[in-house]
Amino acid sequence: MVPLPNNDIDTDQIIPARYLKVTDKNGLGAACFSDWRYNSDGSPKPEFPLNQPQYQGAAVLIGGHNFGCGSSREHAPWALVGAGFKAVVSTYFADIFNGNALKNGLLPIVVDAETHQQLISLSSEDPNAEVSVNLEDQTLTLPDGRAVKFPVDPFSRYCLLNGVDQLGFLFGLDSTINQYEQANPARVMTSA
Amino acid sequence: MSTQVSSSSPRTLFDKVWSNHIVRPQTPDTPAVLYIDLHLVHEVTSPQAFSVLRERGLKVRRPDRTMATMDHSTPTTPRNAEGIIPVTDAMASAQLDVMRKNCADFGIPLYDLGTAKQGIVHVIGPEQGFTQPGMTIVCGDSHTSTHGAFGALAFGIGTSEVSHVLATQCLLQNRPQTMAVRVDGRLRAGVTAKDIILAIIAKIGVGGGTGYVFEYMGEAIRALSMEGRMTICNMSIEGGARAGMVAPDDITFNYVAGRPAAPKGADWDQAVAAWRTLPTDEGATFDNEVVLDANTLTPMITYGTNPGMGMAINANVPDPDKLSDVSQKMALDKALKYMALQPGQKLLGKPVDVVFIGSCTNSRITDLREAAKFIQGRKVADNVRVMVVPGSQLVKVQAEAEGLDKIFREAGAEWREAGCSMCIAMNGDQLQPGQYAVSTSNRNFEGRQGKGGRTFLASPLTAAATAVTGVITDPREMVN
């Protein structure tokens, strides 16, 4: 666990726009939180938690309220996954980030304010403190053994657990989509 | 059955547009499958989506409901002697080439850099008449909420979802909640649509709209032009709402009428008749409500590092020590440190380095007219660089036909090609570390306009007043 308890961490902090000139999704991990993580000469800022030796290898990021606000860039979860994260914990997530994260195997875990505060304290005081996350029964288990339930969109959970691909699911609805299109002809054509 | 009950009970604008686009209803296990009428594509969030289609051997289902432009990573520097806008950044150039190839291979109309109708995706959709009431519109861009100004349901999506829409013209969506955002009264002189939305976000916070679709209503919204309504809907996402909508009315229809993609003749009459049924029914209920009084609004400005950190332009920067919530105090402390501002300080009179007039929030012809009218006969202050960036090539041509470019140039401002420019700082237009800007864009996040740059968000009028004085200025002091 690594604490980054700032409120409203926006996707421009997670991955600044100048890194968005790529045409694939790999290799963004090094640029994750770039402006908070590095000085202008490229040297790491020692005070930033992700640079501290005790937090290396952390898979769970404890963010502040409203994590992932701002731009729709899916580069944000790509960068977080690239930096080794499997879950982010907050009291709530911005809508677009939440959906993007779930499509990339990065679990956005919503907990109550008290648990959130407890996790911030725990991860700050003891860098080796561990939590375990169980998506199957939607629980986050704290070091003291307390298990906290968290909500997950049922379909996203199903897809993650069973390796179901959402595009494949939609593509399977082809005949239903055809019916809709026949009943609702387009008013606007872009290729006129 | 229950469908009969729901169709006769009062419904909101959102309810109507949502239910008109249900391909497969939401179930306890699966989200609704929502049909998308219009898919807007740009160079930054689409390459990986096209790669998915290639990997799977899929086609674009409806290229005739898809359009692409280049705006984010494109330079806005003047054309060379051959009339070409040179792209000097190799990565940006490669990304633009990928966009060209994807559009050619998949048959998608492309408004390429340097061509007559290119521009910011949220400016050209409405401009071409693609954006119409009652539609569902998506784009891999959070400011897609702009198109809600027409009574469309329009929202930003991630790149995975871009691939879903390219391949199936559908999206899996859980039904959001609705919030009525009512702005009563009338705006006073010098106060604009931008000030309304900055005031709304200051009131609810950047997370206040999470999970909601906004419907903006009330006398002040009804009185706005389409451009003003677009400015407001554009920044819905800055309040956390994925979409914001305004009920269509005669102002909407007059804006759409005659545009290239607008219905013509009998189709037009039929379309307008259908659009007139869209506004929220009397007695329909919302999940939440927020109310604002336009009569008491002043020009707004942000002081911090998110759009919710905004205040009346003549107010003082708030004091973190007066906040009881620890996390909010920490956030404000950090923001003021980044902005190098002191609690209690006035922003009026503070010198700035750059004034940026542009972005999908405020780069339309009315925005430029407003700013030009203010700047006409005046000079840009010596200490500021003023950039005016039209939202599209057509806006640029229109502005030049009206002589607005001359007004800006003669005053000492830069007149640029169309694009996102300094709003996103990935195209060569950016602040230097430590610089202050008054910007008509939508985000004041750390580094948003260039690493280390410091942004004050404000209206085009406030930006114009600041351009002339070189210090943050209340435009009302100069009009009166």
Asked if B209 and B216 count as a contact pair (C-beta separation under 8 A), the reply is no
Q: Quick one: fold of A2-151? A: Aconitase; domain 4 (3.20.19)
CA–CA distance from A22 to each of A52, B293, B447 (Å)?
A: 28, 45, 19
Task: Determine whether the interchain pair B451/A16 forms a contact, defined as Cβ–Cβ distance below 8 Å.
Answer: yes
Task: Determine whether the interchain pair A96/B109 forms a contact, defined as Cβ–Cβ distance below 8 Å.
Answer: no
Q: What is the mean pLDDT of each run of 10 residues along chain B (480 residues)?
A: 56 98 97 98 98 98 98 96 95 97 98 97 98 98 98 98 98 98 97 98 98 98 98 98 98 98 96 98 98 98 98 98 95 98 98 98 98 97 98 98 98 98 97 98 98 98 98 88
Q: What does DSSP say about strands B454-457 and B436-439: parallel, antiparallel, or unpaired?
A: parallel
Average pLDDT of span A107-122: 97
DSSP letter at B214 equals E
d(CA B327, CA B310): 18
Share of residues in chain B with pLDDT > 90 (%): 98
Asked if B168 and B278 count as a contact pair (C-beta separation under 8 A), the reply is no
Chain B residues within 8 A of A73 when measuring between CB atoms: 44-45, 158-159
Alpha-carbon distance B201 to nearest alpha carbon in chain A (angstroms): 13
Task: Determine whether the interchain pair A177/B48 forms a contact, defined as Cβ–Cβ distance below 8 Å.
Answer: no
Residue A141: alpha-carbon gap to chain centroid: 19
Instruction: Please tell me if residue A130 touches chain B, with a CB cutoff of 8 Å.
Output: no
Alpha-carbon distance A102 to nearest alpha carbon in chain B (angstroms): 10
Instruction: Please tell me if residue A161 touches chain B, with a CB cutoff of 8 Å.
Output: no
Q: What does DSSP say about strands B354-357 and B385-388: parallel, antiparallel, or unpaired?
A: parallel
0.95 cut: is pTM over it? yes
**Binning pLDDT at 50, 70 and 90, where does residue A187 land?**
confident
Angle ∠(B5,B10,B11) on CA atoms, nearest 5: 100
Mean pLDDT of chain A: 96
Chain B residues within 8 A of A99 when measuring between CB atoms: 157-158, 161
Average pLDDT of span A161-176: 95
| Residue A191 pLDDT | 86
| Residue B7 pLDDT | 55
Kindly state the helix (H) or strand (E) to which residue A82 belongs, with its residue range.
helix A75-82
Task: Determine whether the interchain pair A23/B47 forms a contact, defined as Cβ–Cβ distance below 8 Å.
Answer: yes
Task: Determine whether the interchain pair B45/A154 forms a contact, defined as Cβ–Cβ distance below 8 Å.
Answer: no
Chain A residues within 8 A of B179 when measuring between CB atoms: none
Task: Determine whether the interchain pair B261/A189 forms a contact, defined as Cβ–Cβ distance below 8 Å.
Answer: yes
- Residue of chain A with shortest Cα separation from B330: A6
Asked if B423 and B360 count as a contact pair (C-beta separation under 8 A), the reply is yes
- Residue of chain A with shortest Cα separation from B137: A188
- Contacts for B288 with CB less than 8 Å, ≥ 6 apart: B177, B178, B179, B180, B212
Parse chain A into domains and list their residue ranges: 2-151, 153-182
